[in-house]
Chains A and B, each alone.
Chain A
Amino acid sequence: MRSIILVAAREYRQIAATRGFWVMLLVLPVVIGISQVAGRYFRPPLDSAYVLVDQSGQYDSAIDRRLLLNYQRVELGAFSAYVQRWNLSSVDPDAVWAKGERWFPDAQVEQFLSNGGIEAAWSRVAPAKPREAPDYEIDPPAYIRAPLPAGVVASAGPEAFAEGLAGPLGGGEIDTPLGRRPLALAVWIPPEINDASPVRMWTNGAPNNTLVDNVRNEVTRIQRARALQASGLAPDVVEGIANITTPIRLSAPPQGAGREQVAIRSALPLAMVYLLLVTVMTTGSMMLQSVIEERSNKLLESILATVHPSQLMYGKLLGLGAIGLTILGVWVGAAVGAALSVQGVVADIVKPSLSAIEPWMFGAMLFYFFSGYLIISMLYLAIGALSNSLQDAQAYLMPVIMIIMLPVVFMMVSVLQQPNGVFPVLMSWIPLYTPFAMLARLGAGVDFIEVIGTGVMLAAFVALEMILLGRLFQASLLRTGQPPKLGAFLAMMLGKNTG
């Protein structure tokens, strides 16, 4: 065991001393960090401005109100999810944001707004939030009404109005109460709306359908009410008709349950499939280079005088495994750290994913991960022992990688659509692909008996591979000359002396 650890430590130190290792190790944390910093400090404002001139005086306040309601609805939805995620409903169990609902009709949003809207809700919840919970970030409104710029005369007609806004509408920005913003829409409502005198709208070339729809719907609603009044209906009846909304109650599983639960539970196992692929391919190629270096440097004989070939093999596997674990640990640590320190997509997925996984799944995930690591590492090790140079190795490596990667890629696509479909299930029972298929399917719910069955087969396959490829590795270490042919391969694996 001492020799194995010494070999492993040397392998680890040699790889850890390379620049490539550090680049690989730090690439993900740096990307996460940059994305967080960039997202927080360099994110371009996603909100835009609109200018509204209402010559009739009947629509502009209704349009502004509609946009305000919609903005508060979006915030209410996000805030409700935040409250659920951090278990803060008890702060005010009767509040509209405390019930974990997904859909909020106008009446609820109006109530929310009358209670002070998102600012008031956050002020109420903030003192009670747990220490580890990040602050809720209130986004600015998506559409900000800009005052009419100086020099633009509304009463001079739509053409003059549009001409006065030609600059901002040509791609420039306009002053708003929240700073300068791109002008997404300019609206001119005539004193009397009819076919000859329509509502005019101008966009900056990036039409915002939501904004246009909001304006159109609100104008249409008021117009219909006026038409109904003109037909002789009493104003209170008209108002009643105008305010009719279809009562809808959208039922969905609680947050983190149902299909969402499957997605959340699958997030970590699926991430481990990708991590497995990336780490094993990377560290595998490092292992390959290490063996080829020992062969081409002709130092194997010195090593083999003190270390048995099997100890050398296990030492390499252990050292490279430790390298893989280091990469995995740093990457997962960075992801979890990001999840716990910020809110957003990472926190939405990683934290619930971690809490959704049952304890036995962690054990299964680790088993499949390390089995997969071992299976592919052994292949790399054997190829390294067979090759005199990297060129030799590539000739073996290409078909091996194709045989592993292609079905796994297809299987991943299939798993996302149908985790328990025929193809992923079939792949689960082929030991070479078992780690990938089972990791990918774990979150979707796999019978325990399938976990045990595939686990036993996988363990047997790993043991057989260790024996056969171990023999190949040992027989190839001091071999010279051309890489062996198929018959020699088989003879070496069967332990026959081929010289």
Chain B
Amino acid sequence: MAILKLDHVVKCFGDFTAVDDLTFEVPEGGIFGFLGGNGAGKTTSLRMALDIIRPTSGTIEILGRRPGRENAAEIGFLPEERGLYRRMTVIDTIVYFGRLKGMDAATAKKEAQRLIERFGLGGWTKVAVEKLSKGMSQKVQVAAAMVNRPRLLILDEPFSGLDPVNQKVLEDLVLETARAGSTVVFSTHIMQHAERLTNRLVLLARGRTVFEGTQEEARAQLPSRLTLVSEADPSSLPGVAFARRTKGAEGWASWDVSLMAGATPGDLLQTCTRTGFALRGFESHRPSLHEVFIHLVGSSQETPS
């Protein structure tokens, strides 16, 4: 069952089309990456899913229902632009968001205490948010998003502004939340996070889907690349699209090889064995999501970091 489904969704702001005929599905369970460069339409899409703004056309289903505040009890949301009421205490802030999501006061307080301890903020429970460091404030925001133990946790650029230590804390939390049975959707333009966390992903460019599938399927979008150490030029081998000598002039040399679409490194290795093509080295390179992104989105799109 899809926990989030966008079907031919369009969102225009005046003459500007921020989301253009966007269609994708997020299956329930696991971690879903919502990737794209700046201005790709990620935040707008998530806002529409949460009914903060309405689509110009198309339909959205979230938790099997239309977007609306009645879904808030089962959703956790951490927006890209984050802020807190400066004069509220840590516990009051988390409890307030819990109560807005329909929790009763006692349960919200109990859950807030648990998250405060989990994030190492035990000594700051009754301290006003304005006295916290930026890292601590962000933990409070994450806690406020998760206080209701959401079935669907939506994180919009959750790692921006966090130092490496806190990025790791948040990554662990995302994994823990997913293991606990929640579906996590997070948007990012930092592909390394997506690479470490996501099972499935959708890649956006200029408000449109350019890819939807698993990481492996994404990588398969790029031709496989190999480094061979051979005596002969491998360009003529079946499946090889391109070979370039990188080291050595005569005799044994190192070659950078690109395979044709559909050809796999395993196929090439079998061919070499079968035909007696002499090899001293055979190293297959797995394309990164960053490379996939560059490949699919192209140089006209603002490049991710």
* Surface stretch bound by B, among A95-103, A133-141, A294-302: A294-302
A-B contacts, 23 listed (Cβ < 8 Å): A14-B87, A14-B88, A17-B87, A296-B83, A298-B81, A299-B85, A301-B47, A301-B77, A301-B79, A302-B77, A302-B78, A302-B79, A302-B97, A302-B141, A302-B144, A304-B52, A305-B52, A305-B75, A305-B77, A306-B77, A306-B100, A498-B14, A499-B14
A6 vs B101: C-alpha distance when bound (angstroms): 11
B50-72 interface code vs A (CB 8 A; 1 in, 0 out): 10110010000000000001001
Among A3, A303, A306, A498, which residue has the most Cβ atoms of chain B within 10 A? A306
- Give the interface centre of A294, A297, A299, A308 by most chain B CB atoms within 10 Å: A299
**A478 — which chain B residues lie within 8 A by C-beta?**
47, 52-53
Closest 8 CB pairs of A and B: A499-B13, A297-B83, A299-B83, A301-B79, A298-B81, A298-B83, A306-B100, A305-B77
B134: interface (CB < 8 Å): no
User: Which B residues are in CB contact (< 8 Å) with A301?
Assistant: 47, 52, 77, 79-81
Q: When each residue 303-315 of chain A gets 1 if its CB lies under 8 Å from chain B and 0 otherwise, what string results?
A: 1111110010000
Query: Is residue B168 contacting chain A, with contact meaning CB distance below 8 A?
Result: no
With A17-B87, A297-B86, A301-B79 in contact, is A306–B97 under 8 Å at CB? yes
A298 to B43 CA separation, bound complex (whole angstroms): 14
In the complex, besides A299-B83, A307-B69, A497-B14, 13 extra interface pairs with C-beta distance below 8 angstroms are A2-B102, A6-B100, A14-B88, A17-B87, A300-B83, A304-B52, A305-B79, A306-B97, A307-B100, A478-B52, A498-B13, A499-B13, A499-B14
Give chain A residues whose Cβ lies under 8 Å from the Cβ of B81.
298, 301
Give the CA-CA distance A311 to B99 in the complex, in Å: 14
B72 CB contacts on chain A under 8 angstroms: 305-306
Closest to B141 in A: A302
B96 within 8 A of A: yes
A239 within 8 A of B: no
Bound-complex Cα distance A257 to B144 (A): 63
Chain B contact residues, CB within 8 Å of chain A: 12-14, 16, 47, 50, 52-53, 56, 69, 72, 75, 77-88, 96-97, 99-102, 141, 144-145
Say whether A293 faces chain B, with CB atoms less than 8 Å apart: yes
Residues of B within 8 A of A298 (CB): 79, 81-83
Instruction: Kindly identify which residue among A293, A302, A306 contacts B86, using a CB–CB cutoff of 8 Å.
Output: A293
Distance between Cα atoms of A6 and B50 in the complex (Å): 20
Asked if A226 lies at the interface with its beta carbon under 8 angstroms from chain B, I say: no
**A499 and B75 contacting across the interface, CB-CB below 8 Å:** no
In the assembled complex, how far is the CB of residue A161 from the closest CB belonging to chain B, in whole angstroms? 73
Q: Which residues of B contact A497 (CB under 8 A)?
A: 12-14, 56
Docked Cα-Cα span, A298 to B157, in Å, equals 14
Report yes or no: A303 in contact with B86, Cβ–Cβ below 8 A. Answer: no
In the complex, are the beta carbons of A6 and B99 less than 8 A apart? yes
Distance of A354 from chain B, by nearest CB (Å): 39
Whether a CB of chain B sits under 8 angstroms from the CB of A10 is: yes
Measured CA separation A167–B78 after assembly (Å): 83
The reply to whether A303 and B14 form a contact with Cβ atoms under 8 Å apart is no
Q: How far is the CA of A359 from the CA of B12 in the complex (A)?
A: 55
Bound state CA distance, A350 and B95, in angstroms? 45
Question: Could you tell me the distance between the alpha carbons of A298 and B14 in the complex, rounded to whole angstroms?
Answer: 23
Write out the residue numbers on chain A whose beta carbons fall within 8 Å of the beta carbon of B96: 6, 10
Complex CA distance for A298 and B100, rounded to whole angstroms: 18
Cα A304 to Cα B102 with chains together (Å): 14
Distance in angstroms from A85 CB to nearest chain B CB is: 48
Min Cβ gap B89→A in Å is 10
Shortest beta-carbon distance, A22 to chain B, in Å? 15
Whole-angstrom CA separation of A14 from B13 in the bound complex: 35
> What 0/1 pattern do residues 464 to 483 of A give for CB contact below 8 A with B?
00000000000000100000
In the docked arrangement, what's the CA distance between A14 and B86, Å? 10
Query: Whole-angstrom distance between the alpha carbons of A305 and B87 in the complex?
Result: 21
Query: Shortest distance in angstroms between A480's beta carbon and chain B's nearest beta carbon?
Result: 9
- Which residue in chain B gives the minimum CB-CB distance to A2? B102
The answer for the CA separation of A455 and B141 in the assembled complex, in Å, is 46
Which of A10, A299, A308 is in CB contact (< 8 Å) with B84?
A299
Query: In the complex the two chains form, is A308's CB within 8 Å of B13's CB?
Result: no
Q: Which of A2, A300, A305, A498 lies in contact with B50, CB distance below 8 A?
A: A305
Q: Give A356-398 interface residues, CB cut-off 8 Å to B.
A: none
A35 to B125, alpha carbons, bound, how many Å? 44
Of all chain A residues, the one with the shortest Cβ separation from B49 is: A305
Closest to B12 in A: A497
The reply to whether A293 and B77 form a contact with Cβ atoms under 8 Å apart is: no
How far, in Å, is B94 (CB) from chain A's closest CB?
12
Chain B's closest residue to A496 (CB) is B14
Interface residues of A in 401-434 (CB under 8 A from B): none
Do residues B85 and A306 form an inter-chain contact, with CB atoms below 8 A?
no
Q: How far is the CA of A2 from the CA of B12 in the complex (A)?
A: 33
Per-residue interface assignment for chain A, residues 1 to 32, with 1 indicating a CB less than 8 Å from any chain B CB and 0 otherwise? 01100100010001001000000000000000
List chain A residues, Cβ under 8 A from B13.
Answer: 497-499
Chain A proximity of B218: nearest CB distance (Å): 29
Residues of B near A304 (CB, < 8 A) are 50, 52
A499 to B97, CA, bound (A): 27
CB pair B101–A306 under 8 Å, yes or no, is yes
Considering the chains assembled together, what is the distance between the CA atoms of A201 and B69 in angstroms? 88
A478 to B56, CA, bound (A): 17
Least CB separation from A5: chain B residue: B99
Docked-complex contact A293 and B100, CB < 8 angstroms:
no
**Which listed residue, B12, B16, B80, B85, touches A14 by the CB 8 Å rule?**
B85
CA distance A24 to B267 in the complex (A): 82
B9 to chain A, nearest CB (A): 15
| Chain A residue with the shortest CB-CB distance to B96 | A10
A18's nearest neighbour on chain B, judged by CB, is B87
Give the residues in chain A near B12, CB-CB below 8 Å: 497
Q: How far is the CA of A82 from the CA of B269 in the complex (A)?
A: 115
Q: How far is it, in angstroms, between the C-alpha of A303 and the C-alpha of B78 when the chains are bound? A: 10
How far, in whole Å, are A297 and B72 apart by their CA atoms in the complex?
22
A3–B75 alpha-carbon span in the complex (Å): 16
CB–CB B85/A302 < 8 A: no
B141 contacts across to A, CB distance below 8 A: 302
Shortest Cβ gap from A287 to chain B (Å): 15
